[in-house]
Amino acid sequence: MTDLLNRVQLNTPEHKLVKEGIISDYLNHIMKDNADNSEGQTAQYISALRDADPEPFATALCTLDGRIYSAALGGTFNDAGVAADQVEFTIQSISKPFVYALALQEHGIDELVKVVGMEPSGEAFNELSLEGDTNRPVNPMINAGAITVNQLINGSESTVEDRVAKIHSFMNQLAGRELTLDKKTAESEMESSDRNLALAHMLRSYHIIQDQAEDAVNSYVQQCSILVTVRDLAVMGATLASGGVQPLTGRRVMDQSVARQVQSVMASAGMYNAAGRWMASVGIPAKSGVAGGVLGTLPGQLGLSSFSPKLDEHGNSVRGVRVFQRLSNDMGLHLMAPDPRGRASVRSLTEDSHTDETIVRLQGDIDFIGGERLYRTLSEHELKHKKLVFDMTRVDGVNPVGCRMLNNGIEQLREEGYEVRIEDPEGWLKLKDAYLAGDGV
Ligand code: GLU
């Protein structure tokens, strides 16, 4: 907690970093600033969504160690007495990155790229578009791509029921709880699915999918109808951000390479035809859904989410987009504007004439930049002693590249005749074996 608070830069002067509730208070504050915004309308083409209560407004964050912060606007409660951050809504298109993850996990990237690309389309989510030469949908975030990916789950011979059950169970693992599938919303979407049926027929005509169009859309629409809260979405986002480890259960639910692929596609295509503007102004890989949810992932840091049902002309939640813009600005979350890192991996270098040792004290996170700084310091410094001590007591973390650089460098120094002693109480350098074993630690 203290660590997160230290890292959170709140530019809002009236906010002081003083107590536990500060992050939820802050979330409340930015929601209040957008509460009067009544622009947009609920998704009109699905009756269950058109008639939904447009008022609930909630935001949540989840850290990679599973701490969830959420806020409901002014503690608003719906008719059933449920606060907005506990209100369930259908996941809709936010299911797309996760079903893409499941398909990647089941079939691997080489099989996936045969049927779906990874370029932004710049088009609306339900556009009838396929890639000119291959007839593949251009990416898995538009409906054509998502219907195709849905069809890969559980193999092409699967029944709709088994396929949906597999997706549902994966979503449960991601959220860390049993989620409900809202049959009513699925049925109401099926009643107005001409567009998605047209997409499925087109995909079938090019042999991209095999199932009957009706079954393919039915299966896809059910995946969209799983109910979540903002808190679930934040946890699911944190699972992607951590590289595939669910923060509440500690279980690895997807490979690191899968989480990387999914977030990359979200970054370029997650916000439909507003994806480019979104990346420039918010800078967080994200996915929105027409029920009003927005999911964001900050790789290596956080999962974020918001819920407010009124949508803009791109199908993105109006208040959700504003909240993400504020979060990104106030908390310095834009991916392309990170704080400079690894500058101070070398805390000090001292020549100890009593012990005839050169002592190098390291600190912080050792990654490529941290490793580079260490070796530059060593090469620029004329070492006075043949005994070298690397003191890693104040190191907070070592990533695979940093670990490799440290181990290789130490080996090289030993070959050059240096007697190297390492003080590494946390055992960071031993991570080498885990990294080599591909544990993706
Ligand atoms: N089920 C919705 C559809 O296919 C999802 C669209 C969205 O959330 O953007 O139209």
Mean pLDDT for all residues in the chain: 89
pLDDT of residue 419: 96
- 12 band by pLDDT with thresholds 50, 70 and 90: very low
User: Is the pLDDT assigned to residue 413 strictly greater than 70?
Assistant: yes
Q: Whose CA is nearest to atom 6 of ligand 1?
A: 93
- Give mean pLDDT, residues 329-334: 88
Alpha helices in 108-255 (DSSP H): 109-115, 143-152, 160-175, 183-190, 194-205, 213-224, 230-241
Length of the chain: 441
Strands 227-228 and 89-90: antiparallel
**Mutation probe of ligand 1 site: the residue of 126, 228, 273, 307 with most atoms within 8 A of C-beta:** 126
Q: Is 89 helix (H, G, I), strand (E, B) or coil?
A: strand
Pocket test for ligand 1, best of 46, 223, 290 (most atoms within 8 A of CB): 290
Please indicate whether residue 77 or residue 370 has the higher confidence score (pLDDT).
370
Band (129; pLDDT cuts 50, 70, 90): confident
220, 226, 229, 232 alpha-carbon torsion, rounded to 10°:
-80
70 lines ligand 1 (CB under 6 A): no
What is the 77 CA–ligand 1 centroid distance (Å)? 26
Which two tokens mark 252? Answer: 């690895």
Query: Which candidate, 187, 246, 248, places its Cα nearest to that of 217?
Result: 187
Q: Is 10 exposed, middle or buried (0-12, 13-18, 19+ CB in 10 A)?
A: middle
What is the per-residue pLDDT across 301-325, written as a single tens digit (0 to 9) for each? 999 999 999 999 989 999 999 999 9
Cβ-contact 318, 311 below 8 angstroms: yes
9 versus 59: which is more confidently predicted? Answer: 59
Looking at residue 296, what is its pLDDT?
A: 97
Q: How far apart are CA 383 and CA 389, in angstroms?
A: 12
State residue 140's pLDDT score.
96
Most confident of 181-195, 261-275, 359-373, 419-433: 181-195
Tokens of 345: 């991996």
Going by pLDDT thresholds of 50, 70 and 90, the confidence category of residue 343 is low
Examine the pLDDT at 213 and tell me if it is beyond 70: yes
pLDDT of 239 higher than 60: yes
Instruction: Name which of 32-41, 121-130, 214-223, 338-347 the model is least confident about.
Output: 338-347
User: Which comes out higher in pLDDT, residue 105 or 34?
Assistant: 105
Alpha-carbon distance of 63 to 65, in angstroms, equals 5
**HEC readout, 37-72:** CCCCECCCCCHHHHCCCCCCCEEEEEECCCCEEEEE
**Amino acid identity at 168:** H
Q: Is the Cα torsion angle 7, 13, 19, 22 positive or negative in sign?
A: negative
| pLDDT beyond 50 at 8 | no
Distance CA 324, CA 32 (A): 14
Q: Which residues contact 215 (CB under 8 A, 6 or more apart)?
A: 160
Tell how far the Cα of 315 is from the centroid of ligand 1, in angstroms. 9
Establish whether residue 43 lines the binding site of ligand 1, counting it when its CB lies within 6 angstroms of any ligand atom. Answer: no
Count CB atoms within 10 A of the CB of residue 260: 14
Give the number of other CB atoms < 10 A from CB of residue 128: 12
Q: What was the pLDDT predicted at 435?
A: 67
pTM: 0.86
Amino acid of residue 120: P
Q: Is the CB of 232 under 6 A from ligand 1?
A: no
Q: Report the atom number in ligand 1 closest to the C-alpha of 195.
A: 10
Nearest ligand 1 atom to the CA of 125 is 9
Residues with Cβ within 8 Å of 38's Cβ and at least 6 positions away in sequence, in order, are 310
* CA separation for the pair 373, 378 (Å, rounded): 9
Phi, psi of 170 (to 5 degrees): -65, -40
- Phi/psi for 141 (5° steps) reads -95, -20
Please give the distance, rounded to the nearest whole angstrom, from the Cα atom of residue 92 to the centre of ligand 1: 5
Q: Whose CA is nearest to atom 2 of ligand 1?
A: 92
pLDDT at residue number 330: 87
- Other beta carbons within 10 angstroms of residue 293's beta carbon come to 27
Shortest-distance atom of ligand 1 to CA 143:
4
- Of 123 and 208, the structure prediction assigns the larger pLDDT to 208
Output 292 or 22, whichever has higher pLDDT. Answer: 292
**Atom of ligand 1 at shortest range from CA of 146:** 4
Test site for ligand 1: of 50, 92, 288, most ligand atoms within 8 A of the Cβ = 92
